[in-house]
Amino acid sequence: MNLCTDQLAMLLAAKGQLLSVSQISLDSHVSPMAKEAANYRINYGQAEDIFLMQPDLVLAGEYTPRSTVNMLRGLGIRVEIFSITTTLDGVTSQLAKMGALLHREAEAERMITDFEARRAALATDSETPPSAIFYYANGFTSGRGSMANEVLELAGFSNAAIAAGYDSGRKMPLEVLALTDPDLVITSTAYPGGSRAEDILQHPAVKALQRGRAATAVTDHDWVCGTPFVMRAAEKLATLRHSMNKVQP
């Protein structure tokens, strides 16, 4: 009943083992497995609709409302809670936890091996890292201690937000962004329907930073959860970095 646990479960569950995923997993803006999710029953995260499905196990996230979790437990249903991972190591431990819960240890082990192999392949690459900055709606950025930052550094970039003193994922004024002048500005994908929060990404100052640069990048659904999909995001960024280094010798 959580976007991230839904993905882990869909990746690992045997046929017929997973009964239902949450509604948000259908939204391709945030869910890399929106197509797969359509094959399952959809729940809306309410205790009553989940109880009526009579599952043996409910997989919830850290931010699932406590009242819902307590009600389900009170009704005698086993609820396992997954915390939010902010590290790449966390991804493998989440995979292992999910594998154990679903009795699919072998599949989980195979996925972890694959994940670590891809991670090692990216880590060996050692060119001088270009600078990059995340810039999201409302001017927020990601710094140390975030999954996005780990992915960025694995892909061979240095996070210019950390260098500028914007450490722990807070709001970075547009002026500071312009002065930091990074090699790459990574923005977030826009939701449908306008908002002022996302207008900032269309601001001429941001556009000017993207113009004349080798490439632009956006964070998409691969970035949302601590699942093996973050490795795909890192690989895409690394490819981008190779093309950037070719253009600017």
Q: Give the residues lining the site for another protein (CB under 8 A).
A: 137-139, 170-171, 173-176, 178-181, 191-200, 203-205, 208-209, 212
Closest to another protein by CB, 48 vs 181, is 181
Query: Which stretches of 31-183 are assigned E, i.e. beta strand?
Result: 41-43, 57-61, 78-82, 131-135, 158-159
Strand partners for 61: 82
Could you give the 3-state DSSP secondary structure of residue 116? Answer: helix
Closest to another protein by CB, 205 vs 218, is 205
| CB of residue 187 to another protein, shortest distance in Å | 14
Closest to another protein by CB, 107 vs 198, is 198
The type of residue at 19 is: L
| CB of residue 33 to another protein, shortest distance in Å | 20
| CB of residue 188 to another protein, shortest distance in Å | 10
| CB of residue 227 to another protein, shortest distance in Å | 21
Copy the structure tokens of residue 163: 């260098």
Dihedral over alpha carbons 205, 194, 135, 94 (to 10 degrees) = -170
| CB of residue 117 to another protein, shortest distance in Å | 36
CB proximity list for 232: less than 8 A, separation 6 or greater? 32, 222
Closest to another protein by CB, 120 vs 247, is 247
Closest to another protein by CB, 154 vs 206, is 206
Residue that is written with structure tokens 């309410």 in the block: 46
